[in-house]
Amino acid sequence: MKLLFEKSIQGRSGKYLSECDVPMLDLPSGLERETPPGLPELAETDVSRHYSALESRTFGINDGFYPLGSCTMKYNPKINEKVSSLPGFTGLHPLQPVDSVQGMLEALYLADTYLAQITGMDKMTLQPAAGAHGEFAGLLLFKKYHEERGDTARTKVIVPDSAHGTNPATASMCGMSVVKLPSGGDGCIDMEKLRAVVGPDTAGIMLTNPNTLGIFESNILEITKIVHEAGGLCYYDGANLNAIAGVMRPGDMGFDCIHLNLHKTFSTPHGGGGPGSGAVGCKDFLIKYLPGPQINKAGETYRFEASPQSFGNLLAFYGNALTVLRALAFIMAYGKDGLPRMSQHAVLNANYLKHRLSERFRIFNRGLCMHEFVISMEREAKEHGVAAIDMAKSFLDNGMMAPTMYFPLIVKEALMVEPTETEGKETLDNVADIYIRLYDEAMANPEAAKLFPRNTVIGRPDEVEAARNPRVRYK
Amino acid sequence: MNFPENLKYSKDHEWVQYTESGSALVGISDFAQSQLGALVFVNLPEVGETVEVGERFCDVESVKAVSDVYSPVTGTVKAVNEDLQDSPETINSDPYGAWIAEIEDITATDELMSASEYEAFCKEV
């Protein structure tokens, strides 16, 4: 498919408005560019068709099953769009006087309040623009907390080996070092190993619960206690909140700080560039270090207040506000009774699909899983040459997105499946039938399985070449 | 799978070759590279850095994941194989030629295996 730049025809334009009648203003000399920018010249129809063609080549949750484990690719309700596109919200400028944006502030304050209630935190910041950005904010809170107490030897962050890759990356970005904690045989935290690594250099622990294997860490109260007694803080990676939202609260598990991926659990757009939102919540004793101006309520008015001990800003303004509004619409539409049902259905769907697939596939989780489960293709890869990637590519050919592959790292040939609550039983049955048929076909003919996908826009990209010699710009 | 007799091996799949001066060349085994798949980046240690038995001293990146490489000895990095920065794939094509670092002033060594012991160890993994 050609790029817009390649489709450009000199002199072509989509201009049909009358000539501008505002006088042109000349810039002071030296500020004007010497040559005009090399923008493509096309008619509006061509541009519109170009983007429609691009859209038809992508695959999203509106096209079909999208079980990307740990990513919670759920349907985005249209009510979210309706609320966030109200002109009273979209027409605002971030530097408008505070008394002219009271409605927006009230909405953001409400989102803050609800998210804090759902997670058991005392205050949120809506500023971080994505999950990893939120993690960064959370660890900066930890760092600031230790620094303010003169406890500067606390530079180590404990991260289980099943963690999301962003956790150790975040710790490094904050100038701390990572202590990798090997999981026990059941995929959960090994309590003896945890006791052995905590100490006066522990800044904190980063944990997801349920973990990336879809297993709930049943020792969670003991885990947070061990870290607290060693003087460290506990960070909850909210990527897997969809399993427990409305049912359990990380704050009650002993966590001091949390980030939420509003684009996962709270159904804001995801995967196409979002924009995302990595709202961060914390307990009382950390509020004074939160980034940026906080929205507070005084009587009936809302205002921005900056804490002198804040670690600073993470974005120019107040976060992706319209994204937060989508999440707020979702929370208010589901309500106090709907949110627990959402999580329960997410867990039910995962268990139903896991049960159906266990007819053929080996699944790491023994017993019940939470919102996701992990298939291991290790034996099939070793004995028959059918690897996780071969199965994943065959799914693409059958109108569905592949699960997350080769993650978590502690399971070999992993396929991590998270159906979410927004799939019906008919879809899950259909998916299970297709998975099982493709499995049988691949095992009967491993050579043919290497040729998938046959029907997608591109076949198997050369990932090694792409990583070794990336071409990152159009020439 | 190749297990040269003249090398020693750690349970973390590094190989060690002692030089005449008493320093040690360290790399990752044929088994390790086959498990990792095609490598696209090697993050080398720095010359002069001290390394410790069982501690991460380098990481290698494949399309699938970044993996730590653990030092089989305690000592100081005397030299690193700069060629790996431009051609990490050498580790895949020639794992025992593609040394990662040379360690000198060795004060401790991991419990290392002989080629036959390591070959048996890999069969069980």
Residue A344 lies in a domain: yes
The per-residue pLDDT of chain B, averaged, comes to 93
Q: What is the ipTM of this complex?
A: 0.73
**Is the same domain home to A365 and A326?**
no
Residues A312 and A346 in one domain: no
- The answer to whether residue B75 is domain-embedded is yes
Mutate which of A172, A197, A405, A468 to disrupt the B interface (most B C-beta within 10 Å)? A468
Domain that includes residue A169, residue range: 79-334
Percent of chain B with pLDDT over 70: 100
Same domain for A345 and A327, yes or no, is no
Please, where are the H alpha helices in A358-407? 378-384, 388-396
**A406/B41 CB distance under 8 A:** no
Helix (H) / strand (E) element for A4: namely helix A4-7
Q: Which residues in chain A have their CB less than 8 angstroms from residue B89's CB?
A: 468
Average pLDDT (B42-62) is: 93
Task: Please check whether residue B2 lies inside any domain of the structure.
Answer: no
What is the model's pLDDT at position A261? 97
A468/B88 Cβ within 8 A = yes
Contacts of B41 in chain A (CB under 8 A): 467
Domain presence at residue B27: yes
Would the CB atoms of B63 and A467 count as touching at under 8 Å? yes
**pLDDT at site A14:** 78
Per-residue pLDDT of chain A (475 residues; tens, 9 = 90+): 899 999 999 999 877 888 889 998 888 888 988 898 889 999 999 999 999 999 999 999 999 999 999 999 999 999 999 999 999 999 999 999 999 999 999 999 999 999 999 999 999 999 999 999 999 999 999 999 999 999 999 999 999 998 888 999 999 999 999 999 999 988 899 999 999 999 999 999 999 999 999 999 999 999 999 999 999 999 999 999 999 999 999 999 999 999 999 999 999 998 777 899 999 999 999 999 999 889 999 999 999 998 999 999 999 888 999 999 999 999 999 999 999 999 999 999 999 999 999 999 999 988 899 999 999 999 999 999 999 999 999 999 999 999 999 989 889 999 999 999 999 999 999 999 999 999 999 999 999 999 999 999 999 998 888 888 888 887 7
| Structural domain span for residue B24 | 8-109
pLDDT computed for residue A179 by the predictor = 94
Question: How far apart (Å, rounded) are the C-alpha atoms in residues A254 and A168?
Answer: 21
**Same domain? A350 vs A307:** no
A309 to A291, A292, A439: CA distances (angstroms): 9, 10, 57
A347 shares a domain with A310: no
Paired with A295 in beta bridges are: A304
What is the model's pLDDT at position A224?
A: 98
B65/A406 touch (CB, cutoff 8 Å), yes or no? yes
Kindly state whether residues A424 and A323 are assigned to the same domain: no
The whole-number pLDDT of residue A227 equals 98
Question: What distance in Å separates the CA atoms of residue A150 and residue A231, rounded to the nearest whole number?
Answer: 13
pLDDT of residue A172: 93
- Residue A266 shares a structural domain with residue A155: yes
pLDDT of residue B73: 95
Q: What pLDDT does residue A26 have?
A: 86
On chain A, the residues whose CB falls within 8 A of the CB of B88 are 468
CATH code at position A358: 3.90.1150.10
Give the one of B38, B64, B68 whose C-beta lies nearest to A406's C-beta. B64
| Contacting residues of B for A464, CB less than 8 Å apart | 38, 40, 63
Q: What is the Cα–Cα distance from A257 to B93, expressed in whole angstroms? A: 46
Residue A221 lies in a domain: yes
Out of B29-33, B41-45, B61-65, pick the least confident.
Answer: B61-65
Question: How many interface pairs between A and B have CB atoms less than 8 angstroms apart?
Answer: 16
DSSP string, A415-471: EEE---TTS-HHHHHHHHHHHHHHHHHHHH-HHHHTT--SSSSS----HHHHHHS--
A27 found inside a domain: no
The answer to the question of residue A39 being in a domain is no
CA distance A469 to chain B (A): 9
A56 domain residue, yes or no: no
**Which residues 5-34 on chain B approach chain A with CB closer than 8 angstroms?**
none
What per-residue confidence (pLDDT) applies to B93? 95
Report, in angstroms and rounded to the nearest whole number, the Rg of chain A calculated over CA atoms: 25
**A415 and A451 housed in the same domain:** yes
Task: Quote the number of domains for chain B.
Answer: 1
Q: What is the CATH number of the domain that holds B21?
A: 2.40.50.100
Instruction: Kindly state whether B89 is in contact with chain A, defined as any CB-CB distance less than 8 angstroms.
Output: yes
Number of domains in chain A: 2
